[in-house]
Copies of this chain bind each other. A is one copy, B any other.
């Protein structure tokens, strides 16, 4: 059985220091969306406001450098220390100097990623030329990873030569790497290259290349599939990004994405890189030694792929270069995780999903009369005879659950219950005998429709679905009988339920007793833990809820069958 944990979970903290894009596609808006998409906590220090849209930047309002530092101080003074900081648009020389002063005075620095934003996708100059020198001399030496495209790298390194091949890019990357604390990711988006040429070079020069999912030469069956959708085969040109770090040089070769949804691509990549670092270094990162601040090549690859698919999945917006789809790797979760505030989000959801049926089940006239002791003997005898049949299948359902399990824990949990039911069946038989029903008579009694409908439904759902389906199919009997037991017990005080002189008193005591409740509590804890560990999608939750609702309806019908002695 799975173990229920109620603790809240911290999110790795990533700070962006950048400009604001009112359109929401770039700047701190793109960064906050990217950080959230990685499951991290985002905060932001704004250096400038832009009135901006997909067509360009219409106006800029620069934030005074002192106020930029004020924002930074509010974070660090409150122990809201980020694991990683991403720098985007830095507005001007004095802002850069103020940031460098503040950060170099810190006793320990977070992982610093710098996207050297100089010119926007739309061609707007976002950093005065004079500020570039300050960036290089003051900020780059602090930075763990810098992410220029080719023109930006040339500007940073004052590199005058042409860049037209992977070899040229390798030289340029090395030139920039020397300016930073640790590493450079040189983005090759401006220079698509033939896939075969990169593959040949990688082999001849022994380069370390990480390929996109098409690999060096593509997958034939996927190319065939693409053709039937009237799509070209796997792109023959690739974009090569080069990571040069003290650990060596690595190339990432990915197909070129042709799209107009590219507004904020650079912002998104650097925010994704910062988030990947924070995810890799959740707790330890903030205290890591200066020299240890590396993002793994796998993290770099995930960040590159995130951006690539954010472009590819974006729906066109606006009249110019539209924003990326930052949320393409998040789905909506149907339920919150269990916490001390609400330790049973799943079971509470199930009960709440069919309030009328649930009420008819729990407070059925059969139940009321059972508590009063006024239920006709014939009704009760019919019910317990059918219940014996039901219990056989209920035990089988647990055996089926054991079969469907992959862990010894689950096999044990299901098998214990199957064994318990089988063992207790002798007590059930003895109980029936008190009402004059012999075992022979029990076995000879045919299954009534309501019993068969319910029992076989559980078996069928269990056979058709996976182990969680089995757990849910057996849950409404388990949880509902406890609710019935506890409700009847609560009515003793008002005299509505009687134990003395009630021929069914033992039934009430059994289902409100510690032994049964213990099993119910374990069942609830297991359901919640399972659902918390691998949260169902809204679609999956809808199917599970359908199973629960049907079981509640069938439970209600089971009482009805008993009360009216239906066959």
Contact = CB atoms under 8 A, between A and B. Distances in A.
Interface of A: 6, 8-11, 13, 20, 22-24, 29, 32-33, 36-39, 41-46, 49, 51-55, 58-59, 61, 63-64, 67, 70-75, 77-80, 213-215, 219-222, 224-226, 228-229, 231, 255, 257, 259, 309, 311-320, 323, 325-334, 336-337, 339-345, 347-349, 351-352, 355, 403-404, 406, 464-467, 469, 479, 482-483, 486-487, 490, 517, 520-521, 524-525, 533-535, 537, 539-540
Given A32-B33, A479-B221, A520-B221, A8 B55 contact: no
B343 A229 contact: yes
A351 B219 CA distance: 9
Given A23-B80, A49-B63, A59-B70, 6 more contacts: A23-B43, A53-B77, A53-B80, A213-B349, A221-B483, A534-B539
A552 B13 CA distance: 40
A235 to B, nearest CB: 9
Q: Which 10 A-B pairs have the closest CB atoms?
A: A24-B43, A312-B341, A53-B78, A22-B71, A51-B70, A309-B336, A220-B486, A213-B348, A8-B315, A534-B539
Contacts of A73: 51, 58
A78 B318 contact: yes
A219 B521 contact: no
A32 B29 CA distance: 8
A326 B336 CA distance: 11
Given A80-B23, A534-B540, A464 B466 contact: yes
Contacts of A524: 221-222, 225
Contact of A327 (B36, B228, B311): B36
A75 B22 contact: yes
A36 B39 contact: no
Nearest to A42: B24
Nearest to A468: B466
B29 A43 contact: yes
Contacts of A13: 317
Given A329-B333, A464-B403, A318 B79 contact: yes
A318 B8 contact: no
- Chain B CB count within 10 A is highest, among A43, A58, A59, for A43
Contacts of A23: 43, 74-75, 78, 80
A331 to B, nearest CB: 5
Contact of A74 (B42, B52, B525): B52
Contacts of A334: 329
Given A36-B36, A61-B63, A343-B229, A314 B351 contact: no
A514 to B, nearest CB: 10
18 contacts: A8-B314, A11-B315, A20-B20, A22-B44, A23-B78, A29-B32, A36-B330, A49-B63, A51-B70, A51-B74, A79-B318, A221-B486, A221-B520, A222-B348, A224-B517, A228-B521, A229-B340, A309-B341
